[in-house]
Chain A
Amino acid sequence: MAKLIESVGRNTLKRLDYVGGLSIGLWAAVRALGTTLPVTGNRYRWKASIVQMLEIGVEAIPMVGLMAMCCGFILALQGASELRRVGALSLVIPLVAIGFTREIGPLLTAIAVSGRSGSAISAEIGTMVVTEEIDTLKVMAFEPIEFVVAPKLLGALIAVPCLTVVCNVCGIFAGWIFMFFSTHLGLKLYVHEVLESLVLRDVVSGLIKSIAFAAIIVLVGCLEGFQVRGGPEAVGRSTTAAVVKSTFLVIVADMFFTAIFYFTGKH
């Protein structure tokens, strides 16, 4: 029994330690974020940030778009099978629209980005640690956080919300495909219905979530990368850990954000 409590305590402390490390990382990265801004910052960091935006955002569009279409279609199908029985098939439209903007869009995007970019970030930084490139940066009087982390953070903070918008549009479009085949609903009318059922708050709350998810994914990826000690197998482990931990933390954060939006919203 004592052993059980001991191990629970130790593991709790370890988790808290990890979250502490993330917070310190967040603070350091946010402070370095200024250098990545255009005009006022360092133009090489800004260029690096644009490269990151392309890698994290633009290159993920086909994958995220297709995933969103599939999910939108699934949501419409599942919703319709129940709603049809009570003769409320038209409610499929708000279901898809609100479901995507508030919840599925940000979450789906975050999971896709965590799998694509979270792993890539930790592998890149882990390899830099192993090959002494991080040490080289330090002795060349560069700040690794500013040089490596800040452009990735800025890139993700901009790319992930944009990707979420793409995801929302694709998912809602898939809803129309379903509606078209089941009720021959025109696109114009569908869009009208969608806009009718959405309020700005739905969209904004989803985008706020996606910004938080972006920060989590980048910071976990970077932290795992910097913690690499040893050789190539440590890089592999860090990559796995980055994806697992960032996906987990994204879902936990999602719950908190949803709860906050729920309790602060009008009923």
Chain B
Amino acid sequence: MSIISVRNLVAEYGGRRVLDGLNLDVEPGETMVLLGGSGAGKTTLLRNLLGLERPQSGSVVVKGVDFTRCSPTELKRVRRSIGVSFQSAALFNSLTVEDNVALALREHTSLAPSIIELDVWMKLAAVGLADCGKLYPQELSGGMRKRASVARALALDPEILVFDEPSAGLDPIVAAELDELILLLKEAFQMTVVVVTHELPSAFRIADRIAMLYKGSFLAVGRKEEIRVSQDPHIRQFLDRVPDIVKPAHLVESFFEKYLSSPEVTQ
């Protein structure tokens, strides 16, 4: 049985349809990458998967609980088994890195402080920040902040780990390190991983399956090898990095000529 299952998901913003009848199944233990360009609806889909937004219609079932119908208590219960690393890392700036990771453990479990301390240290060590626990988020670099947010997402040993644009704003080396970290964590903790990204190298490195999102619907959902050799024109355009509209050079030239001879410039 799939751990996340999306059926006929429709989401609208002010009458504009952002997601148009999506269907998706994520199996336990696999890495699903949601790939798509800007404005394809990736973030909206992610917010629906986390129950942060209610869709117009359709259902999002995570671990057997339908987020679109369940009670707030049930939603909270399921959310404890989901770890999320947001695009902006979203660490609490008033807390140290350690406290950021410990927050959920302190409040959602009745573990002894010494156990929590040990657990936090282990999670930080897993992401390579073992000696940065006492620092505040603003004292960390972008890559370290991302890793700290991964450690926080791991705090309650989630079954599902969700990443929103893990490599956004990071240099290629740090981004690659983060990819390796995701692979390592998946291997070590046997988690289901959902990654939203538009970075091709990263997507093909970490994915088991890729769901290609285009203008609110899936062009293809399949193993990464299948996606790589797909002949769908939109997928090819995305993979081969072809711009949408290419204006011939002479058109641009004539535009500038016209502008330079216009009255507002010549006066």
Contacts and interface: CB of A to CB of B under 8 A. Distances in A.
A31 interface: no
A59 interface: no
Given A131-B90, A132-B87, A139 B107 contact: no
B84 A136 contact: yes
B84 A42 contact: no
A82 interface: no
Interface string A110-152: 0000000000000000000001110110111110000000000
A136 B90 contact: yes
Contacts of B79: 138-141
Contact of A135 (B80, B90, B92, B103): B90
Interface in B64-94: 76-77, 79-80, 82, 84, 86-88, 90, 92
Interface string B44-67: 000100111000000000000000
Given A140-B79, A141-B79, A141-B80, A135 B104 contact: no
Nearest to A139: B84
A132 B108 CA distance: 21
B87 A44 contact: no
Nearest to B92: A133
Contacts, number: 40
A136 B77 CA distance: 15
A230 to B, nearest CB: 14
Interface in A138-169: 138-142
B205 interface: no
B106 interface: yes
Q: Which 5 A-B pairs have the closest CB atoms?
A: A132-B90, A141-B76, A141-B79, A136-B90, A132-B86
Interface of A: 42, 44, 131-133, 135-136, 138-142
A42 B107 contact: yes
Contacts of B80: 141
A135 B86 contact: yes
A263 to B, nearest CB: 43
A142 B84 contact: no
Nearest to A124: B94
Contacts of A140: 79, 84, 103-104
Contacts of B84: 136, 139-140
A131 B104 CA distance: 19
A138 B90 contact: no
Interface string B100-112: 0001101110000
B52 A138 contact: yes
B50 A139 contact: yes
B259 to A, nearest CB: 31
Nearest to A133: B90
Contact of A142 (B47, B50, B90, B107): B107
Contacts of A131: 88, 90
A138 B162 CA distance: 14
Given A44-B106, A141-B76, A141-B108, A132 B82 contact: no
Interface in B97-156: 103-104, 106-108
Nearest to B155: A140
A264 to B, nearest CB: 41
A139 B106 CA distance: 16
17 contacts: A131-B90, A132-B86, A132-B87, A135-B47, A135-B50, A135-B86, A136-B84, A136-B86, A136-B92, A138-B51, A138-B52, A139-B50, A139-B79, A140-B79, A140-B84, A140-B104, A141-B77
Contacts of A138: 50-52, 79
Contacts of B51: 138
A138 B84 CA distance: 10
Given A135-B47, A141-B108, 18 more contacts: A42-B107, A131-B88, A131-B90, A132-B86, A135-B50, A135-B52, A135-B90, A136-B86, A136-B90, A136-B92, A138-B50, A138-B51, A138-B52, A139-B82, A139-B84, A140-B103, A141-B76, A142-B107
